[in-house]
Amino acid sequence: MLRSAALALCLFLVSASAAATSDPLVGLLEGEGSAGLGAAVRIERSMYKDVGVRYDLLPLLLYESKYLYLHGYRLGVKLYDKPEQTLDVFFSHRFEGFPYDDIPASLAGMAGRDTGTDFGLSYERRGDWGALFGELLHDVSAASNGSEARLGYFYEHKRNGLRLRPYATLSWRDATLNDYYYGVLPGEATAARPAYAPGSGVNLDFGIYADYHLSARWRLLGGLSVTQWSRGVADSPIVSGGTQLKALAGVAYDFSPEKDAWKERGRPLNAKVLYGKSTDCNLLPVMALQCTSTSTVDNTRIMGFELGRPFIERLNDWPVDIVGYAGAIYHDDRGLQPNSWAVHADMKAFYYGFPWDEHVRTRLGFGFGLSYAFSIPYVEARDQAERGRVTSKLLVYLDPTIDVSVGDIFGVRSLRETYFGVGASHRSGIFGSSQLLGNVDGGSNYIYTYVEWAM
């Protein structure tokens, strides 16, 4: 069956005359070097019995370049990108799995079903009449190990800042995927919950996505959809009906520079190196300078580097700059566990309108983005284990800083854009409100010093 589905998709890719991906955030930003930040709320009727409607916060970190894109929960590489057709490979979060907080009686005693990460191949081809798309996905997170193939169509309509995208999708899911999320293993069977295997099946999904330009930079986005699940899934003893309703509503801010601004400035770049130690202080007391101790039992440390690029200078003519950063942090866990790396990307606002700015330029910064740890840092694993809570490799990244110009301090004009400062590296799960972040309630804090300079 999988071989047949793959062959059908290949024939579709060869013969189709137009297409587009299932990504609801595609096209929200336009142009090479675009970046944005926002948040959305996902609302859906859970497929599991007695769970009801679930709400989920989705942080949106957005980026578009010639070869890469990041759309909140989907990271992709553009292998071929033309107006009439594109070919991408991508990683995408799968929003399925048991509820993490209130387990209903229908699922009691069963092993958890985790969310997954899919690796996918996407082809799209467009025409004046609309667009078609095809995708192949396979779980690479060792959750379900299942696969899915999608074929779909949409039509895009734009008018006065409003973009509407009604769509329809057929998705074939293999037995491994359906059995993992909606099956009952023999060891999990009870008198009210017999062993069950849904097997492979085809779902039909149709709905509409929309976004609206409130201004040159603010975007509203939303969507409504209904999914008719395969009979095998609908008949599962842990499933409530075969029809699922979903909704999405959010807002995003486009930080993209003015047209050709980077070309005129020669694409400036900032570099930053940092070193710090773990702290038992929470982030807000650190920011208020009420708690700054790095004397901890574990004494773990971090060191790292970042590259940044200015997106907006003097936002709305205020003394505020917006800079996008990508970086890596090395966690030295002092023999308590193997050392490891984490990578992050964030958008950061700098305020520098202090009365003494002409004498000693001082910047207050605050960054917001996402951090992915290749191994859970020791302080997070320890604290979450003590509280009986889960951990996640992907978390929100916050980066408050304060720094001063080295050139102004020492009277060296050539070093005015070199800064020395103090910051806090913070990973958190937004109080357990986001499935994308593993529904984690907790995180870690490090206080660090750094040097940053313009290249």
Q: What are 107-138's pLDDT values in tens digits?
A: 999 999 999 999 999 999 999 999 999 999 99
Choose the final residue of a domain: 254, 281, 298: 254
Whether 161 shows a pLDDT value over 70: the answer reads yes
- My answer on whether 180 and 298 are in the same domain is no
Q: What percent of the chain has pLDDT over 90?
A: 84
253 three-class SS: strand
Same domain, 250 and 294: no
Is there a single domain that holds both residue 284 and residue 139?
no
pLDDT digits (tens, 9 = 90+) for 15-49: 333 334 688 888 888 777 889 999 999 999 999 99
Closest by Cα among 134, 154, 173 to 9: 134
Task: Write the pLDDT tens digit of every residue in 310-350.
Answer: 999 999 999 999 999 999 999 999 999 999 999 999 999 99
Cα–Cα distance measured from residue 436 to residue 433, given in angstroms and rounded to the nearest whole number:
9
pLDDT at 262: 47
Question: 266 and 140: one domain?
Answer: no
Residues 246 and 379 in one domain: no
For residue range 369-406, list pLDDT tens digits in order.
999 999 999 999 999 999 888 899 999 999 999 999 99
Q: How far apart (Å, rounded) are the C-alpha atoms in residues 207 and 155? A: 11
pLDDT score recorded for residue 3? 40
**From CA 105, how far away is CA 363, in angstroms rounded?**
54
CA–CA separation, 45 vs 51, rounded Å?
A: 8
Region 281-296 average pLDDT: 94
| Average pLDDT of every residue of the chain | 91
Each residue of 408-450: pLDDT tens digit? Answer: 999 999 999 999 999 999 999 998 999 999 999 999 999 999 9
Domain boundary among 254, 269, 289: 254
| CA–CA gap between residue 133 and residue 152 (Å, rounded) | 5
Tell me: do 219 and 314 sit in the same domain: no
> Domain range for residue 104?
2-254
Higher pLDDT: 133 or 14? It is 133
Domain of residue 158, CATH code: 2.40.160.40
Per-residue pLDDT, 388: 87
Token pair of 375 as six digits: 């191994």
**Do both 436 and 287 map to the same domain?**
yes
Per-residue model confidence (pLDDT) at position 8: 36
Q: Where are the alpha helices (DSSP H) in 110-269?
A: 175-182, 231-234, 261-265
- 95-99: long-range contacts, CB 8 A cutoff, minimum separation 24: 95/42, 95/44, 95/56, 95/435, 96/181, 97/143, 97/181, 97/435, 98/48, 99/46, 99/48, 99/51, 99/54
What count of Cα atoms within 13 Å lies in the side-chain half-sphere of residue 377?
Answer: 31
Tell me the β-bridge partners of 121. Answer: 89, 136
**Where is the domain boundary, 223, 239, 254?**
254
Secondary structure class of 332 (helix, strand, coil): strand
Q: pLDDT value at position 267?
A: 61
Rounded to whole angstroms, the Cα distance separating 153 from 169 reads 7
The 3-state secondary structure of 18-46 reads CCCCCCCCCCCCCCCCEEEEEEEEEEEEC
pLDDT at 26: 86
Length of the chain: 455
Q: What residue type is 108 in one-letter code?
A: A
Q: Do residues 110 and 125 lie in contact, with contact meaning Cβ atoms separated by under 8 Å?
A: no
Half-sphere exposure in the Cβ direction for 186 (13 Å, CA): 0
Q: Are residues 74 and 145 in the same domain?
A: yes
Give the CATH number of the domain where residue 359 resides.
Answer: 2.40.160.20
The CA-based angle 131-132-135, given to 5 degrees, is 140
Are 108 and 46 within one domain?
yes
Residues 59 and 196 in one domain: yes
- Tell me how many domains the chain contains: 2
193-237 confidence digits (pLDDT tens): 999 999 999 999 999 999 999 998 999 999 999 999 999 999 999
Query: Is 411 in contact with 242 (CB distance < 8 Å)?
Result: no
Read off the DSSP letter of residue 410: H
Same domain as 60, residue 199: yes
- Residue 19 CB neighbour total at 10 angstroms: 27
- Strand (E) positions, 296-359? 301-312, 320-332, 340-351
Same domain, 235 and 267: no
In the numeric block, which tokens belong to residue 29? 């930003």
**Residue 265 confidence (pLDDT):** 53
Strand ranges, E, within 95-156: 116-127, 130-139, 147-154
